[in-house]
Amino acid sequence: MEKTFNPEIFKKTFDAYVLKWHILVAILWILAFLPALAYGIAKYLELLKIDITPFLRVWDSWGPLLGNITFGAITSGIVSIGAVSFGLVSIGAVSFGVIAIGSVSCGIIAIGVTSVGVFAFGNYAAVGLIAISTGSTGISPRVGGKASGIIAIGRQTSGLYALSYEREGNGVYMFSPERQDTEAVALFTHYLRKFKSVILT
């Protein structure tokens, strides 16, 4: 029986995954900035000389965790938060680390607007062994979404295995509205199971 491809379901499925990825990244951003928030609250309470119980004293209760966290314009440390940051976990406008979160990020796991890493997740662009770039959502026309890697997922992709939302994608094995190579379809439908509904029998 011949299999047919439904481009409309493909785009809806892609958008559903993008929404999930955006929610995940938003949660990671919130968790990443919790120490900075705790530090800010503690300093504010200290400035006001408000005496509260040790349980509620944010800086004291977070002290052991925050001991290895550095804050500043340019920072380095195990966990560093700043405009330019270097560390095991780095968070900032420009960040470099094993886990890097920032507008421009570079690391083994890199999350940001533009990201480079082994696993790179970028809104505008991502380059890595596994690269996911979602592009903008909620506006038309979409911008960004450029991904390059061994496995690349995005609006415009290039790689060995590429899942591309639009026609600009270029992969050795491609899964897009224009091309449905067997190898790419097998890979992406195995790990992103909702794409199985795109291929109709």
Length of the chain: 201
pLDDT the model gives residue 113: 87
Q: Which residue has the tokens 């200290």?
A: 46
Sites in the chain below the pLDDT cut of 70: 1-4, 35-36, 38-39, 42-43, 50-68, 136-144, 167-168, 200-201
CA angle in degrees (0–180, nearest 5) for 78-62-32: 50
Return d(Cα 82, Cα 74) in angstroms, integer: 6
Predicted local confidence at residue 65, as pLDDT: 57
144's torsion region: left (phi>0), alpha (psi -120 to 50) or beta? left
Q: Output the pLDDT for position 15.
A: 83
Summarize pLDDT for 28-52 with one digit per residue, the tens: 777 777 766 766 776 677 777 766 5
Query: Do 105 and 117 touch, CB atoms closer than 8 A?
Result: yes
Amino acid residing at 54: P
Of 106, 103, 112, 108, the C-alpha closest to 132 is 112
Q: What does the pLDDT read at residue 2?
A: 47
Rounded to whole angstroms, the maximal C-alpha distance in the chain is: 76
What's the pLDDT score for residue 170? 84
Q: Which residues of 44-62 are buried (b: 16+ CB within 10 A; e: fewer)?
A: ebeeeeeeeeeeebbeeeb
pTM greater than 0.85 (yes/no): no
CA distance 12 to 8: 6
From 75, 65, 4, select the one nearest 37 (Cα to Cα).
Answer: 65
Cβ distance 195 to 13 under 8 Å? yes
* Spatial distance between the Cα atoms of 44 and 3, rounded to a whole number of angstroms: 63
Please check whether residue 119 is in contact with residue 112, taking contact to mean a CB–CB distance below 8 angstroms: no
